[in-house]
Structures are given as C-alpha cells and as structure tokens.
C-alpha cells in the first residue's frame, strides 16, 4: 500500500484510518453486541449497547466523508 493512501477521521482527537482499517474498527464495535444478542435471545448488556451506539454514528461519519470526497472529485473532473 502506498504511503499516501486516503485516511478517514475516526474521532475529534485526530485519529485517522484507511477505509479498510475504519471498517474493521466498526466491525469490532458491532460484532460482540450482535453475538450477545443472538446468544441471549435479544438481551444486551449496557456496555454492549454502548458499542452499538458508537458504531451507529461511526458509519454515518464515514459516509459523510466519502460523499464529500466524491463531490470534490466530481468538481475536479
């Protein structure tokens, strides 16, 4: 992979990740709570709920960044 690979903001403190890294981090947030819900007939610990809540705003954040990038690309073409 190149050193200039596009990175996306994860949070306000400046953490940035490649698209693949970002999606893996979101998957980590979703995986455990969903597995628990499947194993416990829908029950969910508060800590697992927090992970799902975090994931629920990480994906729209990524979508916003990708849409902005797409518009910038279209304006350059």
Q: pLDDT for 25-72, tens place per residue?
A: 999 999 999 888 888 887 888 888 899 999 999 999 999 999 999 999
Say how far apart CA 24 and CA 10 lie, in whole Å.
12
| pLDDT confidence of residue 27 | 94
Whether pTM exceeds 0.85: no
Q: Identify any residues that bridge with 16 across adjacent strands, giving them in sequence order.
A: 9
Start-end of H helices in the chain: 19-39, 46-76
User: Rounded to 5 degrees, what angle do the CA atoms 41, 44, 50 make?
Assistant: 150
Q: Pick the residue with more confidence: 2 or 53? A: 53
Domain ranges of the chain: 15-76
| pLDDT confidence of residue 3 | 62
Indicate if the pLDDT at residue 2 is higher than 60: no
């Amino acid at each position: 992979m190149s050193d200039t690979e596009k990175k996306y903001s994860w949070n306000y403190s400046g953490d940035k990740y490649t698209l693949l890294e970002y999606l893996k981090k979101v998957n980590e947030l979703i995986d455990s709570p969903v597995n628990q819900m499947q194993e416990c007939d829908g029950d969910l610990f508060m800590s697992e709920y927090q992970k799902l809540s975090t994931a629920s705003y990480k994906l729209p954040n990524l979508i916003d960044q990708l849409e902005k990038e797409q518009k910038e690309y279209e304006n350059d073409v």
